[in-house]
Amino acid sequence: MKTILQIGTKGQVGWELLRTCVPLGNLVALDYPDVDLSDSDGLRKLVNEVKPQIIINAAAYTNVDKAESEIALARAINATGPAVLAEEAKKLKAVLLHYSTDYVFDGSKGSPYLESDPTKPINVYGQTKLEGEQAIEASGCVNLVLRTSWVYSVRQGGFVTKVLQWARQQEVMRVVDDQISSPTSARMLAELSALILVQGREDVYGYLQEKGGLFHCAGGGSCSRYEWAKAILELDPKKEEQIAQRLEPAKSSDFPVPATRPMVSVLNCDKLTENFGIKQPDWKKSLQLVMDAEF
Protein backbone atom coordinates (compact mmCIF):
# COMPACT_ATOMS: atom_id res chain seq x y z
CA MET A 1 0.00 0.00 0.00
CA LYS A 2 1.17 3.53 -0.75
CA THR A 3 1.76 5.97 2.09
CA ILE A 4 -0.05 9.27 1.57
CA LEU A 5 0.74 12.39 3.58
CA GLN A 6 -2.20 14.80 3.54
CA ILE A 7 -1.68 18.30 4.87
CA GLY A 8 -4.94 20.10 5.68
CA THR A 9 -7.89 18.07 6.95
CA LYS A 10 -10.29 20.61 8.40
CA GLY A 11 -10.72 22.96 5.44
CA GLN A 12 -13.35 22.54 2.74
CA VAL A 13 -11.25 20.43 0.34
CA GLY A 14 -9.15 18.73 3.02
CA TRP A 15 -12.20 17.41 4.85
CA GLU A 16 -13.56 15.86 1.64
CA LEU A 17 -10.13 14.52 0.62
CA LEU A 18 -9.87 12.62 3.89
CA ARG A 19 -12.92 10.65 2.79
CA THR A 20 -11.97 10.13 -0.85
CA CYS A 21 -8.32 9.25 -0.19
CA VAL A 22 -8.77 6.86 2.70
CA PRO A 23 -9.14 3.81 0.37
CA LEU A 24 -6.02 4.72 -1.62
CA GLY A 25 -3.38 3.71 0.91
CA ASN A 26 -1.95 4.33 4.33
CA LEU A 27 -3.20 7.87 4.93
CA VAL A 28 -1.34 10.11 7.37
CA ALA A 29 -3.44 13.26 7.60
CA LEU A 30 -2.68 16.35 9.67
CA ASP A 31 -3.89 19.92 10.09
CA TYR A 32 -2.58 23.04 11.80
CA PRO A 33 -1.12 23.17 14.46
CA ASP A 34 0.12 19.55 14.14
CA VAL A 35 1.61 20.63 10.83
CA ASP A 36 2.51 24.22 10.02
CA LEU A 37 3.18 25.16 6.40
CA SER A 38 5.03 28.26 7.57
CA ASP A 39 7.57 26.14 9.51
CA SER A 40 10.00 24.88 6.86
CA ASP A 41 12.14 22.81 9.24
CA GLY A 42 9.12 21.13 10.83
CA LEU A 43 7.70 20.40 7.39
CA ARG A 44 10.93 18.78 6.16
CA LYS A 45 11.13 16.70 9.33
CA LEU A 46 7.54 15.51 8.95
CA VAL A 47 7.96 14.50 5.30
CA ASN A 48 11.14 12.60 6.09
CA GLU A 49 9.55 10.77 9.01
CA VAL A 50 6.44 9.73 7.03
CA LYS A 51 8.34 9.01 3.78
CA PRO A 52 5.19 9.21 1.63
CA GLN A 53 4.82 8.18 -2.00
CA ILE A 54 2.13 10.85 -2.36
CA ILE A 55 1.97 14.27 -0.67
CA ILE A 56 -1.35 16.11 -0.82
CA ASN A 57 -1.42 19.77 0.17
CA ALA A 58 -4.98 20.88 0.85
CA ALA A 59 -3.95 23.62 3.29
CA ALA A 60 -3.44 27.26 2.41
CA TYR A 61 -3.78 30.82 3.66
CA THR A 62 -7.22 31.47 2.11
CA ASN A 63 -8.40 34.69 3.77
CA VAL A 64 -8.17 36.87 0.66
CA ASP A 65 -8.82 40.18 2.43
CA LYS A 66 -6.66 39.54 5.48
CA ALA A 67 -3.76 38.50 3.23
CA GLU A 68 -3.46 42.15 2.14
CA SER A 69 -2.17 43.01 5.62
CA GLU A 70 -0.49 39.67 6.49
CA ILE A 71 1.71 39.43 3.43
CA ALA A 72 4.65 37.62 5.05
CA LEU A 73 2.43 34.96 6.62
CA ALA A 74 0.40 34.46 3.42
CA ARG A 75 3.67 34.06 1.48
CA ALA A 76 5.14 31.62 4.04
CA ILE A 77 2.02 29.41 3.86
CA ASN A 78 1.13 29.71 0.17
CA ALA A 79 4.58 29.95 -1.41
CA THR A 80 7.39 28.81 0.92
CA GLY A 81 5.51 25.82 2.39
CA PRO A 82 4.63 24.36 -1.02
CA ALA A 83 8.21 25.02 -2.17
CA VAL A 84 9.55 22.96 0.73
CA LEU A 85 7.05 20.17 0.06
CA ALA A 86 8.12 20.16 -3.61
CA GLU A 87 11.84 19.94 -2.73
CA GLU A 88 11.22 17.08 -0.33
CA ALA A 89 8.93 15.31 -2.81
CA LYS A 90 11.66 15.51 -5.42
CA LYS A 91 14.26 14.02 -3.05
CA LEU A 92 11.93 11.20 -2.00
CA LYS A 93 10.57 10.57 -5.52
CA ALA A 94 7.10 11.29 -4.22
CA VAL A 95 4.23 12.87 -6.12
CA LEU A 96 2.92 16.27 -4.95
CA LEU A 97 -0.78 17.09 -5.38
CA HIS A 98 -1.47 20.78 -4.77
CA TYR A 99 -4.31 23.26 -5.34
CA SER A 100 -4.16 26.76 -6.76
CA THR A 101 -6.58 29.46 -7.75
CA ASP A 102 -8.22 31.44 -10.55
CA TYR A 103 -6.98 34.52 -8.64
CA VAL A 104 -3.60 34.11 -10.37
CA PHE A 105 -5.35 35.97 -13.23
CA ASP A 106 -6.48 39.60 -13.31
CA GLY A 107 -9.89 38.76 -14.80
CA SER A 108 -9.59 41.00 -17.85
CA LYS A 109 -9.25 38.37 -20.62
CA GLY A 110 -12.95 38.27 -21.47
CA SER A 111 -13.03 34.52 -22.18
CA PRO A 112 -12.15 31.40 -20.13
CA TYR A 113 -8.51 31.22 -19.10
CA LEU A 114 -6.21 28.50 -20.40
CA GLU A 115 -3.29 27.06 -18.42
CA SER A 116 -0.97 28.71 -20.96
CA ASP A 117 -2.41 32.23 -20.47
CA PRO A 118 -0.14 34.78 -18.80
CA THR A 119 -0.81 35.21 -15.08
CA LYS A 120 -1.26 38.60 -13.44
CA PRO A 121 -2.51 38.45 -9.85
CA ILE A 122 -4.17 41.58 -8.50
CA ASN A 123 -4.14 40.71 -4.80
CA VAL A 124 -1.68 39.27 -2.27
CA TYR A 125 -3.47 35.93 -2.02
CA GLY A 126 -3.29 35.43 -5.81
CA GLN A 127 0.35 36.54 -5.92
CA THR A 128 1.43 34.17 -3.14
CA LYS A 129 -0.53 31.25 -4.63
CA LEU A 130 1.17 31.92 -7.97
CA GLU A 131 4.57 31.89 -6.25
CA GLY A 132 3.65 28.49 -4.78
CA GLU A 133 2.80 27.13 -8.24
CA GLN A 134 6.04 28.50 -9.67
CA ALA A 135 8.14 27.00 -6.88
CA ILE A 136 6.59 23.58 -7.47
CA GLU A 137 7.27 23.82 -11.19
CA ALA A 138 10.85 25.05 -10.63
CA SER A 139 11.63 22.21 -8.18
CA GLY A 140 11.24 19.63 -10.93
CA CYS A 141 9.21 17.35 -8.65
CA VAL A 142 6.50 15.17 -10.16
CA ASN A 143 3.30 17.09 -9.48
CA LEU A 144 -0.36 17.63 -10.15
CA VAL A 145 -1.42 21.23 -9.54
CA LEU A 146 -5.15 21.82 -9.87
CA ARG A 147 -6.19 25.45 -10.27
CA THR A 148 -9.76 25.82 -9.13
CA SER A 149 -12.29 28.57 -8.35
CA TRP A 150 -15.10 29.53 -5.93
CA VAL A 151 -14.80 26.38 -3.81
CA TYR A 152 -17.78 25.60 -1.61
CA SER A 153 -19.02 22.94 0.74
CA VAL A 154 -22.25 23.00 2.71
CA ARG A 155 -20.38 21.98 5.84
CA GLN A 156 -18.79 25.26 6.80
CA GLY A 157 -17.78 28.79 6.13
CA GLY A 158 -18.03 29.26 2.36
CA PHE A 159 -20.46 31.17 0.14
CA VAL A 160 -23.21 28.52 0.12
CA THR A 161 -23.53 28.40 3.90
CA LYS A 162 -23.35 32.21 4.05
CA VAL A 163 -26.21 32.63 1.54
CA LEU A 164 -28.37 30.11 3.41
CA GLN A 165 -27.65 32.00 6.64
CA TRP A 166 -28.36 35.46 5.16
CA ALA A 167 -31.68 34.12 3.75
CA ARG A 168 -32.72 33.31 7.32
CA GLN A 169 -31.67 36.71 8.68
CA GLN A 170 -32.40 39.33 5.99
CA GLU A 171 -35.58 40.20 4.08
CA VAL A 172 -33.63 41.85 1.27
CA MET A 173 -30.38 40.26 0.14
CA ARG A 174 -27.88 42.03 -2.12
CA VAL A 175 -25.26 40.01 -3.99
CA VAL A 176 -22.79 41.23 -6.62
CA ASP A 177 -23.48 40.40 -10.25
CA ASP A 178 -20.19 41.72 -11.69
CA GLN A 179 -17.89 38.91 -10.43
CA ILE A 180 -18.09 35.88 -12.69
CA SER A 181 -16.42 32.50 -12.25
CA SER A 182 -17.30 28.84 -11.71
CA PRO A 183 -18.53 27.48 -8.38
CA THR A 184 -16.65 24.29 -7.55
CA SER A 185 -17.87 21.70 -5.09
CA ALA A 186 -15.12 20.73 -2.63
CA ARG A 187 -16.50 17.19 -2.75
CA MET A 188 -16.32 16.99 -6.57
CA LEU A 189 -12.78 18.38 -6.47
CA ALA A 190 -11.69 15.82 -3.89
CA GLU A 191 -13.33 12.97 -5.79
CA LEU A 192 -11.79 14.03 -9.06
CA SER A 193 -8.36 14.33 -7.40
CA ALA A 194 -8.62 10.77 -6.07
CA LEU A 195 -9.78 9.50 -9.47
CA ILE A 196 -6.65 10.92 -11.09
CA LEU A 197 -4.40 9.35 -8.43
CA VAL A 198 -6.14 6.01 -8.97
CA GLN A 199 -5.45 6.14 -12.70
CA GLY A 200 -1.76 5.81 -11.82
CA ARG A 201 -2.45 2.48 -10.05
CA GLU A 202 0.80 1.05 -8.65
CA ASP A 203 2.97 3.59 -10.49
CA VAL A 204 1.41 6.94 -9.74
CA TYR A 205 4.90 8.50 -9.90
CA GLY A 206 5.55 7.28 -13.44
CA TYR A 207 2.00 8.09 -14.48
CA LEU A 208 2.14 11.71 -13.30
CA GLN A 209 5.74 12.10 -14.51
CA GLU A 210 4.25 11.56 -17.95
CA LYS A 211 0.84 13.17 -17.55
CA GLY A 212 1.02 15.53 -14.56
CA GLY A 213 1.60 19.27 -14.29
CA LEU A 214 -0.74 22.23 -14.08
CA PHE A 215 -4.46 21.84 -14.88
CA HIS A 216 -7.57 23.95 -14.54
CA CYS A 217 -10.23 22.09 -12.60
CA ALA A 218 -13.44 23.95 -11.75
CA GLY A 219 -17.18 23.38 -11.96
CA GLY A 220 -18.55 23.36 -15.53
CA GLY A 221 -20.04 26.56 -16.97
CA SER A 222 -19.97 29.90 -15.19
CA CYS A 223 -22.18 32.39 -13.38
CA SER A 224 -22.14 35.60 -11.39
CA ARG A 225 -22.23 35.52 -7.60
CA TYR A 226 -25.82 36.83 -7.90
CA GLU A 227 -26.84 33.89 -10.14
CA TRP A 228 -25.07 31.51 -7.77
CA ALA A 229 -26.96 32.92 -4.77
CA LYS A 230 -30.25 32.66 -6.71
CA ALA A 231 -29.60 28.96 -7.40
CA ILE A 232 -28.68 28.31 -3.74
CA LEU A 233 -31.95 29.89 -2.57
CA GLU A 234 -33.94 27.84 -5.10
CA LEU A 235 -32.23 24.57 -4.10
CA ASP A 236 -32.49 25.21 -0.36
CA PRO A 237 -34.27 22.08 0.93
CA LYS A 238 -35.53 24.03 3.94
CA LYS A 239 -36.98 26.97 1.99
CA GLU A 240 -39.69 27.44 4.58
CA GLU A 241 -37.00 28.74 6.99
CA GLN A 242 -36.08 31.60 4.63
CA ILE A 243 -37.29 35.08 5.55
CA ALA A 244 -35.70 36.68 2.47
CA GLN A 245 -38.31 38.28 0.21
CA ARG A 246 -35.97 39.66 -2.45
CA LEU A 247 -32.53 39.01 -3.90
CA GLU A 248 -31.12 42.15 -5.51
CA PRO A 249 -28.09 42.47 -7.79
CA ALA A 250 -25.31 44.77 -6.55
CA LYS A 251 -21.85 45.85 -7.70
CA SER A 252 -18.50 44.96 -6.14
CA SER A 253 -17.94 48.70 -5.56
CA ASP A 254 -21.00 48.68 -3.22
CA PHE A 255 -19.03 46.49 -0.78
CA PRO A 256 -15.52 47.93 -0.32
CA VAL A 257 -13.06 45.24 0.84
CA PRO A 258 -9.26 45.29 1.21
CA ALA A 259 -8.49 42.90 -1.70
CA THR A 260 -9.48 43.53 -5.31
CA ARG A 261 -11.03 40.47 -6.97
CA PRO A 262 -10.72 39.54 -10.65
CA MET A 263 -14.05 40.29 -12.36
CA VAL A 264 -14.23 37.38 -14.82
CA SER A 265 -11.95 34.49 -13.89
CA VAL A 266 -13.62 31.50 -15.54
CA LEU A 267 -11.19 28.62 -16.13
CA ASN A 268 -11.17 26.54 -19.31
CA CYS A 269 -10.83 22.95 -18.06
CA ASP A 270 -10.56 21.15 -21.43
CA LYS A 271 -6.92 20.14 -20.85
CA LEU A 272 -7.93 18.15 -17.75
CA THR A 273 -10.61 16.27 -19.69
CA GLU A 274 -8.31 15.59 -22.64
CA ASN A 275 -5.53 14.32 -20.37
CA PHE A 276 -7.44 12.28 -17.81
CA GLY A 277 -10.85 11.63 -19.43
CA ILE A 278 -12.77 13.22 -16.56
CA LYS A 279 -14.51 16.51 -15.96
CA GLN A 280 -16.45 18.38 -13.32
CA PRO A 281 -20.21 18.48 -13.87
CA ASP A 282 -21.95 21.76 -14.66
CA TRP A 283 -21.81 23.97 -11.53
CA LYS A 284 -25.59 23.92 -11.05
CA LYS A 285 -25.77 20.13 -11.31
CA SER A 286 -23.01 19.79 -8.69
CA LEU A 287 -24.76 22.26 -6.41
CA GLN A 288 -27.95 20.25 -6.68
CA LEU A 289 -26.14 16.97 -5.95
CA VAL A 290 -24.31 18.44 -2.97
CA MET A 291 -27.38 20.10 -1.48
CA ASP A 292 -29.51 16.99 -1.98
CA ALA A 293 -26.89 14.89 -0.23
CA GLU A 294 -26.28 17.14 2.73
CA PHE A 295 -29.77 17.74 4.06
Ligand X SMILES: NC(=O)c1ccc[n+]([C@@H]2O[C@H](COP(=O)([O-])OP(=O)(O)OC[C@H]3O[C@@H](n4cnc5c(N)ncnc54)[C@H](OP(=O)(O)O)[C@@H]3O)[C@@H](O)[C@H]2O)c1
AA letter at 233: L
Q: Which stretches of 23-117 are DSSP H helices?
A: 40-50, 71-75, 81-92
Look at residues 125, 269, 291 and name the one whose alpha carbon lies nearest to residue 192.
269
Helix (H, G, I), strand (E, B) or coil at 242: coil
Task: Name which position in 27, 59, 86, 142 contacts ligand X (CB under 6 A).
Answer: 59
- Write each residue from 177 to 216 as x if it is in contact with ligand X (CB under 6 A), else as -, in one continuous string: ---------x------------------------------
Q: How many CA within 13 A on the CB side of residue 238?
A: 10
Distance CA 231, CA 181 (A): 14
Check binding of 84 to ligand X (CB under 6 A).
Answer: no
Check binding of 8 to ligand X (CB under 6 A).
Answer: yes
Task: Name which position in 5, 6, 14, 142 contacts ligand X (CB under 6 A).
Answer: 14
| Residues assigned a catalytic role | 125
Look at residues 70, 65, 79 and name the one whose alpha carbon lies nearest to residue 123.
65
Alpha carbon 6 to its chain centroid, in Å, reads 15
Check binding of 13 to ligand X (CB under 6 A).
Answer: yes
What's the per-residue H, E or C state across 187-216?
A: HHHHHHHHHHHHHCHHHHHHHHHHHCEEEE
Q: Whole-number minimum distance, CB 118 to ligand X, in Å?
A: 19
**Interface of this chain with ligand X, residues 144 to 183, rule: CB under 6 A:** 148-151
- Write each residue from 120 to 139 as x if it is in contact with ligand X (CB under 6 A), else as -, in one continuous string: ---------x----------
- Write each residue from 230 to 269 as x if it is in contact with ligand X (CB under 6 A), else as -, in one continuous string: ----------------------------------------
Question: What residues make contact with ligand X under the rule CB under 6 A?
Answer: 8, 10-14, 31-32, 35-38, 58-62, 77, 99, 101, 129, 148-151, 186
